[in-house]
Structure formats: C-alpha cells, structure tokens
Amino acid sequence: MARGFGDEMMLAEWLFVNTVDDLRERSSNPSSTDRYSLLGIAPLLRKLLIDERPLVNTVKAARLTVPIEFRIVAHPSPTQVPGRQVVLSLGREEIVGSPEVAPVSLAQFTRVVIGSAQGNDVTVRDAIRYFANVEGGVHFGKAKTSIDEVLLTHTPSMFALGNQWIDVLGHIGAVVAGGLRPLEESIMATPTKNAARVLKDETGQLNSLHWTDTYKKVRIQPEG
C-alpha cells in the first residue's frame, strides 16, 4: 500500500523529535565528550539541516507558523584578529548565543562563519559537511573543497590536541537544539495522526495509541 502524506509526516515527526533529542544529549557538554560521540553529531546536523531534503523543511511544511530561529555568534576570521597568523581556528562555546543575541533564520544560519582555515572562512555548512562526509560522521570520504583539504591536512593535529576543534560540532548542536525546540514542542502538543491507519486491538476496538504516548512516558521524569 502506498504511503500517504499523513504516514510520511508521522514518520518525519517521530524521526525529527528523536534526532533533536539525540542532538541535545550529545551537545550538552562538548568539552567532556569523547571524539567519537562528537563526530556522531555531524550526521544529525546534516540530516536536519543540509541534506538534499532537510528533515526540518519536511516537518516545518505542516507547521508554517512555528518560528525557527538560531542564536549564534560568528567567530572572527584571521583578518579580524590583528597581529595573529592563524592557520586553523574553529569557534568553541563563544559561538553559542545568549537570549540577547539577535536570531538568524535557517538559511542565514548555515552561512554563519564559525572559523577559518588558512585564510578561508569556514561556515556552519562547511563544518557539518566536512565532519559528516570526509572524516566519517556519515561517509569516510575524500576532500571535495579547499576547506575540506585544509581540515583534512590538520586532522593529525586535531587528534593530538583532543577535542580542540571537533567540539565545534557540540556547540553548533547546542544552538540548533535550542532553535528547534519550538518546533519539537509543537509536534509533541499536536502530532500528526492518520486515523485511517489506526489498528484494531484483539477485541476489535480501535487502538488510539500513537508514538508520542510512549515517548512522553520516557521523557517525563518522576518527581523526587
């Protein structure tokens, strides 16, 4: 049987909420998280924001009035740091904007400069694509851009210095998880349901259970 719009949206919403939850957990303390777990942030960000069909866009199509805004502080490029010769620099916790920072849209967010590599700006999109598609977050692939080449050249140094550069993924993740919270809350409050797909239980009665029912039970922590 062909999958209808309701089926697709329910699946997309389930995947979106779980992905954002995973992202929030992995991004909660980047400086104390191991490199492999940080690398796992890259595919989550790619899936949500920059895939050919970004998950955020799919879910947002049914919730046009829900705002998506990200609060991020651009990391200065070498030309903005007088007297310093910077080969590679990626932002850390300073890129996570406070509530007072003016928000940017999704399209603007992926173009925000969060570092530099041999004089070239590194954007949010550049960082996600490199760690996802070159270093192995999704694919262990080859460098395709000049930014990829520089980052790949410095990978041995990245290992020697621990999480000094890759923890940028955690800070990007924290910004994204915060920006997507209104959309996540909207889904949990009024999830897409397809009555035509509701199953009957053994007595022949309609079973109204939805994935959000069990998900809420997992998320809500008992008091005390």
**By C-alpha distance, which of 66, 16, 72, 71 is closest to 44?**
16
DSSP state of 80: G
Q: How far apart are CA 10 and CA 57, in angstroms?
A: 14
Task: Give the sign of the dihedral formed by CA 27, CA 31, CA 36, CA 37.
Answer: negative
What does the pLDDT read at residue 154? 74
7-61 pLDDT tens trace? 889 999 999 999 999 999 999 999 888 889 999 999 999 999 999 999 999 999 9
Higher-confidence position of 17 and 143:
17
H-type alpha helices, 27-114? 35-39, 41-45, 55-60, 106-109
Q: How far apart are CA 25 and CA 184, in angstroms?
A: 15
Please list the residues that pair with 122 across neighbouring strands: 115
